């Protein structure tokens, strides 16, 4: 796999922890300058500190991806700080459902669709012109295995991730001849702070999460980060409009 990232610039949303933090660190380790973004300023600054402590270069910009003006500001800061944009990882997302479809509320629907769909759409809306001006680049959006099939008791979340894949495929075709590739990464259950909070009170749920993956365990944030870097790399130069399942075999059934 050819990694030719040195001196280039990436922006990562949802980078205060978990998959976003691991991917920001992985980009920086390959020599990229990274713009770390999240609503959680303390967590985002923490990611920047980790990158700098490891000898990398990064800066933090707080952004609510559901607000157009804040997304515009984020992308303006990318250019003001580093003068270019080469790669974007649109990772900000939420999952807050706890029941079957009729039990969902309007507030849950608006929140999930707002962050997971509108947020990805807004980010790409303002990233694509920058990549076009740069002469090319790559975008990776965080979808989910829930976007590749069903997700009982998470119907709104599943709908949002199916929508992310639709946005990804559509943008990929629109810009396929402009040297801009757009792909999605589709994780299964990943070992994040969110996962630990959800299952620490009930170890049996954690055991079930491990068992649902044919490999016998949940995934690691670093494994998703590796997939994102691959999709951005020259090694994936013929890959666009693809939804890459990184799922321990879940979708093989």
CATH number of the domain that residue 68 is part of: 3.40.50.720
By residue count, the chain amounts to 253
- How many Cβ atoms from other residues are within 10 Å of residue 160's Cβ? 27
Give the C-alpha separation, 65 to 84, whole Å: 20
CB atoms within 10 A of CB 143: 28
Any domain includes 99: yes
Instruction: Please check whether residue 179 lies inside any domain of the structure.
Output: yes
- Alpha-carbon torsion 6, 7, 12, 18, what sign? positive
**Nearest CA-CA partner of 205 in 187, 197, 167, 7:** 197
Across 118-127, 148-157, 162-171, 205-214, least confident range:
205-214
Q: Residue 206 and residue 21: Cα distance in Å, rounded?
A: 23
Cα separation, 143 vs 198, whole angstroms: 20
- 198 in a structural domain: no
Max Cα-Cα span within the chain: 51
Asked whether 214 and 248 are in contact (CB, 8 A), the reply is yes
Which residue has better confidence, 98 or 134? 134
Share of the chain above pLDDT 90, in %: 88
End-to-end CA distance of the chain: 29
Q: Is 199 a catalytic residue?
A: no
Mean pLDDT calculated for residue range 222-243: 97
Cβ pair 25, 54 in contact under 8 A: yes
pLDDT at 86 over 70: yes
To which residue do tokens 């390959």 refer?
A: 30
* Tokens representing residue 192 in the block: 């994040």
Domain count, the chain: 1
Residue 76, φ and ψ in degrees, nearest 5:
-65, -40
3-state secondary structure of 58: strand
Residue 133 lies in a domain: yes
Range of the domain at 228: 9-190+221-246
pLDDT the model gives residue 1: 47
With 0-12 / 13-18 / 19 or more C-beta atoms within 10 angstroms meaning exposed / middle / buried, residue 48 is buried
Strand partners, 184: 141, 243
pTM tops 0.85, yes or no: yes
The verdict on residue 76 lying in a domain is yes
- pLDDT tens by residue, 44-54: 999 999 999 99
Nearest alpha carbon to residue 38 among 76, 94, 118: 94
Domain presence at residue 216: no
Residue 60 inside a domain? The answer is yes
Tell me if residue 156 falls in helix, strand or coil.
helix
pLDDT digits (tens, 9 = 90+) for 172-223: 999 999 999 999 999 999 999 877 876 776 777 788 888 999 999 999 999 9
Residue among 82, 87, 126, 157 flagged as catalytic: 157
The answer to whether 148 and 251 have CB atoms below 8 angstroms apart is yes
Among 53, 61, 4, residue whose Cα is nearest residue 27 = 4
* 226 lies in some domain: yes
């Amino acid at each position: 796999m050819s990694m030719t990232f040195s001196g280039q610039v990436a922006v990562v949303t949802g980078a205060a922890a978990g998959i976003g933090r691991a991917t920001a660190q992985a980009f920086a380790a390959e020599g990229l300058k990274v713009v770390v973004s999240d609503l959680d300023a303390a967590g985002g600054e923490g990611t920047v500190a980790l990158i700098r402590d490891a000898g990398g270069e990064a800066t933090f910009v707080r952004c609510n991806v559901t607000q157009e003006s804040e997304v515009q500001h984020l992308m303006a800061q990318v250019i003001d700080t580093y003068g270019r944009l080469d790669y974007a990882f649109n990772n900000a997302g939420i999952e807050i459902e706890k029941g079957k479809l009729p039990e969902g509320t309007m507030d849950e629907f608006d929140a999930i669709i707002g962050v997971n769909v509108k947020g990805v759409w807004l980010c790409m809306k303002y990233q694509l012109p920058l990549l076009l001006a740069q002469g090319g680049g790559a975008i990776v959006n965080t979808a989910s295995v829930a976007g590749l099939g069903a997700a009982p008791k998470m119907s709104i979340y599943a709908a949002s991730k199916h929508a992310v894949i639709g946005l990804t495929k559509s943008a990929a075709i629109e810009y396929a001849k402009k040297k801009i590739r757009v792909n999605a990464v589709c994780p299964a259950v990943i070992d994040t702070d969110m996962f630990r909070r959800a299952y620490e009170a009930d170890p049996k749920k954690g055991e079930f999460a491990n068992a649902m993956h044919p490999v016998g365990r949940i995934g690691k944030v670093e494994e998703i980060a590796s997939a994102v870097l691959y999709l951005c790399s020259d090694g994936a130069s013929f890959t666009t409009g693809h939804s890459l399942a990184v799922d321990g075999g879940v979708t093989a059934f």
